[in-house]
Chain A
Amino acid sequence: MIRYVTSRLASLIISLLVASIVIFAVIEVIPGDPASFMLGVNARPDTLAALRSEMGLDQPLIQRYFAWVTGLLQGDFGNSWTYKTPVADLINDRIWVSLPLAVYALVLSTLIAFPAGIYAASRRGSAGDVTIMGATQLGVAIPNFWFAMILVLIFAINLRWFSAGGFPGWDNPALALKSLTLPAISLALPQAAILARVMRSSLLDMLTEDFIRTARAKGLSHRQALWRHAVRNALIPVLTIIGLQFSFLLAGGIIIEQVFFLPGLGRLIFQSISARDLIVVESVVMLLVFTVIVVNFLVDMAYAIVDPRLRTKT
């Protein structure tokens, strides 16, 4: 177990290190002079010089990289050139929209997919299975942002159950959750369709395993064998998908935020791209990638809980 955790932990640290180098290289090395890139060709020399020293461009590359990473580790993401405020503050304002949205969507997706997948697998070939599989086939094909537009059209514009966009802040949690509900649904349903399909096929694979036959020979009914023996084993591939989905939900959230005018990381990143504020883009991308890598690490840990073979093997 300790070996497993250490090796995953090492892999986590290496991934973060390499990811940070890649991001740093793309943002600060490829453009040549990031400062003149950010300010455009008509920039005044004194502004340019100010930005250069702000970004530390007079220092060697290696030193700049280490300064950036040590800053990140201490929660110092630098200062935004356009907003003239610390990037950390900007992120702190927005992450409390993006992260809850992703988690909300993940919870919804799992809550929908597990029962649907298990039901479809346990009644393979039945009308219910066919219906669920048809619905998931459709769900997989629907772009979430278009689905979001349809939801707005139906529930905000026609039925007026929800507001079409905006976010009231967390002062009133119920209201905040309500304003995140349509975005979360539009993110979650297509992902739930994928997850339900994986759950179903993984379960069907498990149901052909010898140990299910053994369980049946012990006197378990088909349902009991499914619930007690197949589901936990089927979770192993499902966990992988859930881990991957989190990164898709986080990234997909950036798009959905556009549909619902939510003040999240997506809005921040698009505004920064159009303002060419590379400092903000760099930090937000690093944060997104960091989250994905950490979530993958957590999924690896979850494997070890589900699968005892991982605890003793390497």
Chain B
Amino acid sequence: MTLLTIRDLSVAINGTTILHDVNLTMQPGKVAAITGESGSGKSMTALAVMGLLPRGAVATGQIMLDGTDILQTSEPALCKMRGNTMGMVFQEPMTALNPVQTIGDQVAETILIHENTSKTAAHRRAAAMLERVGLPNDRFPLSRYPHELSGGQRQRVVIAMAIALRPKLLIADEPTTALDVTTQARILDLLRDLVREFDMGLLLITHDLAVVSDIADQVAVMQKGRVVEAAPTRQLLTDMRHPYTKALFAASTHTVYLPVRTASVPLLYAKNIVRDYPLPRKQLRGPRPHFRALDHVSFSIDHGERVGLVGESGCGKSTLTRAILGLEDVQGGQITLGGEPVFTGKKPNLTVRRKMQVVFQDPYGSFNPRHRVDRLITEPFHLLETPPTGMAREVEISKALQDVGLSQSDAKKYIHEFSGGQRQRIAIARALIIAPELIIFDEAVSALDVSVRAQVLDLIAALCRKRPLSYLFISHDLSVVRSITDRVIVMQAGKIVEQGETETVFTNPQHPYTQALLAAAPQLPELKHATEIV
């Protein structure tokens, strides 16, 4: 018997059509994935199934779930179904839980709202459910508050809430996107097990094709509110029909070709870096405890070398970035760039600073919204003794913009007129305008859709061909690091656990942590058809 059938679902919000004739069918006990880039309408489809469309949304068509048409069901009846027949898990575990309520109360609430049972009984069942999702009661009592848990643990709580009444359909909207790769692997394992054990359907919304190929039985690819292709996963992977599907998979497995690196003269040199953050005192007396964010970190980057830095959140990546940039002092060791220390007290040493630039992750937060592009990208001129003015400045601006594939006319625009990918190009233009010797890419492509990401990676490779660049490419995404770097450094808990030639590390990891990271990262199977069209 079919669990969920979506027929010709269209959704319009305030007159704008968001979804066009979406069709989808799934069976109980199976995993159906909806994938696509941002704005494709995949989350909206999920919300429509939950009957939680935003205000002002008008839906037409049919959503048959277990014999009931969601679109024809009244709100009170929908409330009875939500959490009972269907449950939902969201992307952001850090904000998905009520911060002022214990996890026990929040899980028990699902039970109490639907069943006429005692509070004690509901708490007992909540405890069992938390146990089932991997939060044993002796370590995670019901009285815990969300802020006392990590992101992965919170996501387990959200899952426990969603499945407490064993719903027939579980919808998971990017459930692992905000999580580290090893945590992601464990959460996906949990979801897979739950589907089997409870014989429920899992509707998985994800942008990550590797996750799709890893867990889903069937896939629907969405683009601009339409399902462009839907098929069983195995079939889709071997025989893609729609050009968008092919393009999407091609972008996901995109590899760039870096030019061979040139001479090896040391540029950046870091030796035994220690960075401690003071923690609040536990006792009134005695020494203040410290959190060691960087623990004797040593590495170097040569001229023309492209180095990757991988590790999970909290491993010390951002702390290291700030230390290299000379924004914060370190408690031990020294970082030198071209032989000079990067940190020079309160007054920054401009001769060192002008040798480094940085490209940040968030294309929306990297620019002052009140300045025009020409002012934004010329900010590094502040580091020069004699910054170009007048005509010379105009020439520099237009050259910098053209280098990253934008045009001179973009100089007078404000940043909100650009898309995320264009903004990252502008960020690269800003970093390159004073021709620094070292560039730090701090998760610079992590916030981008796969196709845009592929373009930006291509741009970086093209820039390398034009002029040898030295950079430190920081990323949590192993597949990206693999193609864009010569050498890779793996960090865990403030320590470098492994470093070496990128290919060597990826094919023959030595440290158990590197091995775990690589094993946890979901992989797309070799795709003959996808690579053919590139």
Contact = CB atoms under 8 A, between A and B. Distances in A.
Interface of A: 3, 209-211, 213-221, 224, 228-229, 232-233, 306-309, 312, 314
Given A217-B162, A221-B79, A314 B109 contact: no
A129 to B, nearest CB: 14
B414 interface: no
Interface string B19-54: 000000000000000000000000000000010100
Contacts, number: 79
Contacts of B88: 214, 217
Given A229-B98, A233-B99, A221 B90 contact: no
Given A211-B98, A214-B96, A219 B147 contact: no
Contact of A219 (B81, B90, B95, B158): B81
A184 to B, nearest CB: 32
Contacts of B87: 217-218
A3 B283 CA distance: 9
Interface residues of B, number: 32
Nearest to B109: A218
Contact of A211 (B84, B99, B110): B99
Given A220-B113, A312-B147, A214 B97 contact: yes
A219 B100 contact: no
Given A217-B52, A308-B145, 15 more contacts: A210-B90, A211-B97, A211-B99, A213-B52, A213-B90, A214-B88, A214-B90, A214-B96, A217-B83, A218-B83, A218-B110, A219-B114, A221-B79, A233-B98, A309-B147
Nearest to A220: B113
Nearest to A229: B98
B345 interface: no
Nearest to B145: A308
12 contacts: A211-B97, A214-B98, A214-B161, A219-B79, A219-B80, A219-B83, A220-B79, A229-B98, A307-B99, A308-B147, A312-B145, A312-B148
Interface of B: 50, 52, 75-76, 79-84, 87-88, 90, 92, 95-101, 109-110, 113-114, 145, 147-148, 158, 161-162, 280
A214 to B, nearest CB: 5
Given A213-B90, A308-B147, A232 B81 contact: no
Contact of A308 (B75, B100, B114, B161): B100
A193 to B, nearest CB: 27
B80 A218 contact: no
A215 B98 contact: yes
B514 to A, nearest CB: 34
A122 to B, nearest CB: 14
B95 A211 contact: yes
